[in-house]
Amino acid sequence: TQLLEQSPQFLSIQEGENLTVYCNSSSVFSSLQWYRQEPGEGPVLLVTVVTGGEVKKLKRLTFQFGDARKDSSLHITAAQPGDTGLYLCAGAITGGTSYGKLTFGQGTILTVHP
């Protein structure tokens, strides 16, 4: 059974601050995806990382996939109120009986105060 431990569970910060969300597992994943979800809506894909050590940047968001493909982090620089939401990491294993299944972390509820 693959598990993803996501931390912190809650994050309340002021506009302009930086933050990092972590996603850790004892399992190796073929890829890891980060999503952002608004209340009552489905998760919206932010990024997919597939190579160990990979770093991807999306404006003020920086995503990193660990060398061993067991962990990942999301760093937000100069957070804005519009960044408020639920952030989810999800791991995928390609092939065999794992196809089509994402294993999700518990999520991080981020609140950015003006």
- Name the one range near another protein by CB under 8 A: 16-24, 43-51, 60-68, 77-85: 43-51
Q: Strand order of the sheet with strand 71-76?
A: 5-7, 19-24, 71-76, 61-65, 55-58
The residue (of 40 and 114) whose beta carbon lies closer to another protein is 40
Binds another protein (CB under 8 A): choice among 21, 43, 64, 66: 43
The residue (of 42 and 114) whose beta carbon lies closer to another protein is 42
Count of positions on this chain that bind another protein (CB under 8 A): 28
Binds another protein (CB under 8 A): choice among 7, 62, 84, 106: 106
DSSP state of 67: T
Cα(19)–Cα(50) distance, rounded to whole angstroms? 23
Within 10 A of 13 (CB to CB), how many other CB atoms are there?
16
Measured in residues, the chain has a length of: 114
Binds another protein (CB under 8 A): choice among 88, 108, 110, 112: 88
The residue (of 79 and 108) whose beta carbon lies closer to another protein is 108
Cα(31)–Cα(49) distance, rounded to whole angstroms? 6
